[in-house]
Amino acid sequence: MQPAVEVSENALTERQKDVLDAALTLLVEAGDTLTMTSVARRASCSKESLYKWFGDRDGLLTATVQWQAAKVRGVPVDPEAFSLTSLTSGLERFASDWLRVLSGTISVALNRVAVGHAGSDKHDLGAIVLENGPFAMARRLKPLLQLGRDTGLMSFDDTDEAFRTFFGLVVRDVQIRLLLGDRFELTEAAINRDARRATQQFLALYGVHTKAADDGH
Amino acid sequence: MQPAVEVSENALTERQKDVLDAALTLLVEAGDTLTMTSVARRASCSKESLYKWFGDRDGLLTATVQWQAAKVRGVPVDPEAFSLTSLTSGLERFASDWLRVLSGTISVALNRVAVGHAGSDKHDLGAIVLENGPFAMARRLKPLLQLGRDTGLMSFDDTDEAFRTFFGLVVRDVQIRLLLGDRFELTEAAINRDARRATQQFLALYGVHTKAADDGH
DNA sequence: GCCGTACCGTACCGTACGTTACGGCAGGGT
DNA sequence: ACCCTGCCGTAACGTACGGTACGGTACGGC
């Protein structure tokens, strides 16, 4: 028996992408209780094809998580004409984007199954989500932070520490509450307000003050 | 058939407590894959007793979570002879205690199963963990925060917002990374260092400065 | 001594679901 | 026209596990 689609093998046919999208919506609806039969029915494909393409249930889940992760790329920052204003707006934009993704039903569902399977997996969904979640965020934000430090707008020793503080100020208890099933009103206005507040707090802690930045609540 | 032990019925015999402790260790070892049979074998009791005492598998999990929650009570703060020093040490002590609990294997295991079951439960483990986790922390910390404000050491409009900021500064990405299975070195020294840093940052944001509090990394 | 209660150990049942196997159909190459 | 490949739909298999039933033992009350 062939080991089916390898993780490194990213050649997905359109048909397979459709199947993974169906699996995603089922994951949102039913969580980890989705069955191979339900995926096959929803995607109008045979279970035989599922097993041929993805090996087993775990492989299907892994491919689904990776398929979603592949869709959330992009949005780097431009290191042109840098100022306190562009640093601030960059941080705010980053924070609001992040909160929007984080509070989305797909992100919540994916993190749920990854947390449930963490550690005891052959493919280890937890590591995949970790890699495409917090770690990817760190990689995307750090250039902006270092640019801010190099231009003398911020001051910190350890970029990673600074990132993790920003993480805390942005996410706070939102993610864990959502994962635990707390019904959460997170309107567009609230997201933007939180992004501004987190940015102001972050600059108050790490920014080089010419004039004292006041708190913004 | 009787509805077995009600949630409000907290009268647990010693035998039942032993069983719940066995279930706890199994939860740490095997996560949500623990079976009724494995609990019975580990606790040297019959499955019949499990079902008589706890109704069904969900009831056993619920009782286990509540049993653990009941063990983590206490440590209120004393509103005597209050000063910046006692506020600082109170916040630090709270933060380090919290990080210690959060990073413990039991907490991680419990949060894992609760996240896995969130929303689609009759007993809703998510709500229970939420209630005994973040919400209980908020209830325990808020008196200290308000005391700090009333004595003019801190300034903020919304106690809940202040708490959530403290939450973010303390927990940062630690919890989600642990839940996703990231191997994490969290030594006693690191915990104390993080607690100090979070406290200093929190006071820098919300404290009333007589002398500028510097960051502490 | 006899009964009732509480419990252990284990065998058993029903079912859900992962996984496999098979029959049928459509399209493309020869 | 024939075959081969890829896929759908469905039936079937195997098993793990939640839940139940039952026999056996210890103990306290009478």
Residues B144-177: tens digit of each pLDDT = 999 999 999 999 999 999 999 999 999 999 999 9
Type of residue at B144: L
- Separation of A28 CA and D12 C1' (Å): 30
Q: Which residues contact A97 (CB under 8 A, 6 or more apart)?
A: A75
Tell me, what's the pLDDT at A160?
96
Determine the average pLDDT of the residues in B108-118: 92
The count of other CB atoms within 10 Å of the CB of residue B27 is 23
- Chain A residues within an 8 Å CB radius of B30: 120
Question: Which residues between 90 and 119 in chain A have a beta carbon less than 8 angstroms from any beta carbon of chain B?
Answer: 111-112, 114-116, 118-119
- Chain A residues within an 8 Å CB radius of B32: 116
B118 with A179: Cβ contact below 8 A: yes
Number of residues in chain B: 217
- Chain B residues within an 8 Å CB radius of A204: 204-205
- CATH fold for domain A77-206: Tetracycline Repressor; domain 2 (1.10.357)
Judge whether B103 and B184 are in contact, CB under 8 Å.
Answer: yes
- Under CATH, domain B74-206 is a member of which superfamily? Tetracycline Repressor, domain 2 (1.10.357.10)
- Average pLDDT of the residues of chain A: 86
- Interface check for B172 against chain A (CB to CB < 8 A): the answer is yes
- Chain B residues within an 8 Å CB radius of A214: none
What are the structure tokens assigned to B139, written together? Answer: 């209830």
Determine the average pLDDT of the residues in A38-48: 90
Question: Which residues between 62 and 91 in chain B have a beta carbon less than 8 angstroms from any beta carbon of chain A?
Answer: none
Give the one of A111, A118, A165 whose C-beta lies nearest to B169's C-beta: A165
pLDDT per residue over A147-190, tens digit each? 999 999 999 999 999 999 999 999 999 999 999 999 988 999 99
Q: Shortest CA–C1' contact from A37: which nucleotide?
A: C17
Tell me, what's the pLDDT at A190?
97
Which of A36, A31, A58 shows the shortest CA–CA distance to A124? A58
Judge whether A4 and A53 are in contact, CB under 8 Å.
Answer: yes
- Residue ranges covered by each domain of chain A: 14-70, 77-206
- CATH fold for domain A14-70: Arc Repressor Mutant, subunit A (1.10.10)
The angle that helices B188-206 and B84-102 make with each other, rounded to 10 degrees, is 130
pLDDT exceeds cutoff 70 at A144: yes
The proportion of chain B whose per-residue pLDDT surpasses 70, expressed as a percent, equals 88
Nearest-angstrom CA–CA distance, B191 and B96? 6
- Interface check for A212 against chain B (CB to CB < 8 A): the answer is no
pLDDT per residue over B6-59, tens digit each? 444 467 888 899 999 999 999 999 888 899 999 999 999 999 999 999 999 999
pLDDT per residue over A63-118, tens digit each? 998 888 877 655 566 667 788 999 999 999 999 999 999 999 999 999 999 998 88
Give the one of B161, B181, B201 whose C-beta lies nearest to A217's C-beta: B161
The proportion of chain A whose per-residue pLDDT surpasses 70, expressed as a percent, equals 88
Provide the H-helix boundaries in chain A.
Answer: 14-30, 36-43, 47-54, 57-71, 84-102, 105-117, 125-130, 136-150, 159-171, 174-179, 188-206
Determine the average pLDDT of the residues in A44-51: 90
Please identify residues in chain B, positions 19-58, with a C-beta within 7 angstroms of any atom of strand C. Answer: 40, 44-49, 52
Determine the average pLDDT of the residues in B72-88: 75
Determine the average pLDDT of the residues in B179-202: 95
* CA neighbours closer than 13 Å in the CB half-sphere of residue A167: 25
